[in-house]
Structure 1
């Protein structure tokens, strides 16, 4: 068969008939590599023939969305939309050391206890390395978990046919190669996409559906390594976030065909693995004895995915001996913090020209929505006044530049979470709490920031 030479970018998959020093698609230097391909067959398919499938009416198609594999790891189930769909393919990515392999080993052993067969294939680690990690985080390894260390995808596909697993874990997809593409190295766009395509065919077989989870390497730009088409190919994309020196880990879905995109699950990582935080509202508040009041502390309710979470915001205001006071916000952007401090100065009548302001959240959650702004302001005011706010009081409102309280979305679900947790008072914007029934929670509607300050402290 006639051969031809093309130059393919290792970063984005761009093809050129001639060598270029810089890829015109992704602007990477020296990334185009010479590749010999079949002129007729091309480089993007391993199929030798196309099997025509019968056409169906949409109303006659049997949905498998409810046919899920449910683990005993509640936060993982939540992010997956209620469990792992049996004919789905998911990719999980994170920075090195975030806990990707740890979490999936726990998932594998958990499902093996439920009589599911699991294959864990690694192209990065040896079998003994995987066993050492499993011994550390799993009390008793189940015999229905198989492991193989081989970066040859053809061998993996053969093993799948041999042991017939229900769940297949690939660690990581960028390290595997198919023999049909000898001129492309592991991690290249061609190898990554073709290996993923072969696994999709395995997962989507109607007579034997299988769930597949791919571990994807992450670049320095915090993106999944390889072409963007890989994310479009899979059914769900999961990201583990968290600083290496902290124990909190957040599992986030940026795409989910079988659940809610943006759903979040929380874990803390220990020597024994990833521990699911089943009640985040308790985890993200400080348990204090007595009346629980502490200057600089205020409570709000944020929404992470579809779930309301009660969150404590802490502030520290101190005297500044420099011409430019510090504004440090570990949980929000500095520009937003400066805006909120300006609102306090102009609408609350408190001056900060000689004050440093530092703000953070318990647990390190980022403040991504405006509903927490009133709580941030009250936390700062509590600190500068050195007066604590009762720990049964919560603030849910945006605050405009005029000092007026603004309505926020999904207020009813936030208030129901407060009512469930036994809080007594919640401050909201005017006309936003009407019609919301509570057991013991009192909804206080006020118009301006000044009204809230007066009501809370006077």
Structure 2
């Protein structure tokens, strides 16, 4: 009888070592090395990924027709996917526990099955009765072309796929699936890597559009090896907070569309509902005449979204003032506060500062800089801004206001929601043709912007 050989594998990055180490040299995380039995599967075809029998041909002879997409009838999901679900694609959906990943995919299963597509929902976490109870809570008519199975064994899952021959398959979740030819436990780096590679071979070989659900770590990244995100065609993150009803579906990788698109949903008793006009929802509870509140137009993919930025500046009782930011980059807020101190003369060094984006949205583009500066200055001076003003612009370290992209779309969205004036970079006014009845005010510096806003 041959002796089993063991190795230690990092559960975060997949680094392998012959001996145990407390700190992984690959990702520098502690206590992530787990002992695994190193034995190759009896079938060597699992050692590499084979999509199909390959042939070499000139690129000019390859047909470039656009593949038809499955319409999920969920427009927010279609937008994030780039116009619909591509046959044969492998899509990874990640998010915090309880955020609504399974609910979204179950609703997607309903809409696809209602159109006559065969859908196979594979659950490794719930029984079929639990899935049926969740479907009943959604209060939707269950179509007969939706098939459900509770299975963890990858080889049995492949048999079920060959038996049903679905157009769309959903695997919930990839961390619970195991390959019997690999000795390590389900959820380990080796199992997740092999299960994903096997599902990719099935998806590409049979043309089955496949969703796989991935758990996330406490840092918010997809659990498992980083290779997992490179193997799939699209990576979607489902974001939101449990105490907030809004959920944001964000694409961080998409081979069939833009990676900047977001879809916004609202969690209700009967599942997730699309938010067709997110700007109107985010501004519905905006206070009027309160210092520290400013509206900014941010681009999320191809869609402008108007959100409220709130700031609170108050004298500190600590030696080191507190700086907290929710929904925007903390380092960006610190930089803007330094600009306000140096270029505008606001003494913020003995003030606590809190910045928040209302509605739970995260803004990561520099076009919101000027709105952050206006909110902080408004709260510090206790001077409310005009409720009909929208502020757009990037702030530089010398206090200048830089031009931003797609200014026309931002201004049109602001006018559509009833705003009367837009404070924008002066360089953006050149060549700007807006037929809408909205006043455009161009500013060169932050100080000039503050004068205009406080005067308005």
Match of 1:34 among 34, 37, 62: 37
Aligned to 1:227: 225
Q: Against the structure 1 CA distance between its residues 242 and 64, is the aligned structure 2 distance closer, same or farther, given a 3 Å change threshold?
A: farther
SS of 2:312's equivalent? strand
- The answer to whether the Cα contact below 8 Å between 2:37 and 2:184 also exists between their aligned partners in 1 is no
Aligned to 2:126: 125
SS of 2:426's equivalent? coil
Aligned to 1:392: 388
Aligned to 1:44: 47
Q: Against the structure 1 CA distance between its residues 68 and 400, is the aligned structure 2 distance closer, same or farther, given a 3 Å change threshold?
A: same
1:282 corresponds to 2:280: yes
Aligned to 1:194: 194
- The answer to whether the Cα contact below 8 Å between 1:90 and 1:238 also exists between their aligned partners in 2 is yes
Unpaired segments ≥5 residues, structure 2: none
Aligned length: 450
- The answer to whether the Cα contact below 8 Å between 2:124 and 2:172 also exists between their aligned partners in 1 is yes
Q: Against the structure 1 CA distance between its residues 161 and 427, is the aligned structure 2 distance closer, same or farther, given a 3 Å change threshold?
A: same
Q: Which moved more, 1:336-345 or 1:33-42?
A: 33-42
1:440 corresponds to 2:437: yes
Residues 69-119 of structure 1: CA deviation (Å, up to 9, x unaligned): 112212111111111101111111112111111110011011111111111
Q: Which moved more, 1:246-255 or 1:312-321?
A: 312-321
SS of 2:39's equivalent? strand
Aligned to 1:332: 328
Unpaired segments ≥5 residues, structure 1: none
Aligned to 2:107: 106
Whole-Å Cα distance in 2 between the matches of residues 96 and 413 of structure 1? 35
Shift of 1:269: 1.9
Q: Against the structure 1 CA distance between its residues 127 and 295, is the aligned structure 2 distance closer, same or farther, given a 3 Å change threshold?
A: same
RMSD: 3.0
Aligned to 1:7: 7
1:453 corresponds to 2:450: yes
Whole-Å Cα distance in 2 between the matches of residues 51 and 235 of structure 1? 17
Pairing 1:346-385 to 2, within 5 Å after superposition: 346-352=342-348, 355-385=351-381
Q: Against the structure 1 CA distance between its residues 217 and 259, is the aligned structure 2 distance closer, same or farther, given a 3 Å change threshold?
A: same
Aligned to 2:175: 174
Whole-Å Cα distance in 2 between the matches of residues 354 and 156 of structure 1? 61
Shift of 1:196: 2.1
Aligned to 1:92: 93
Whole-Å Cα distance in 1 between the matches of residues 241 and 52 of structure 2? 48
Shift of 1:10: 5.8
1:415 corresponds to 2:405: no
- TM-score norm. by structure 2 comes to 0.88
- TM-score norm. by structure 1 comes to 0.88
Whole-Å Cα distance in 2 between the matches of residues 398 and 26 of structure 1? 34
Shift of 1:451: 2.5
1:305 corresponds to 2:301: yes
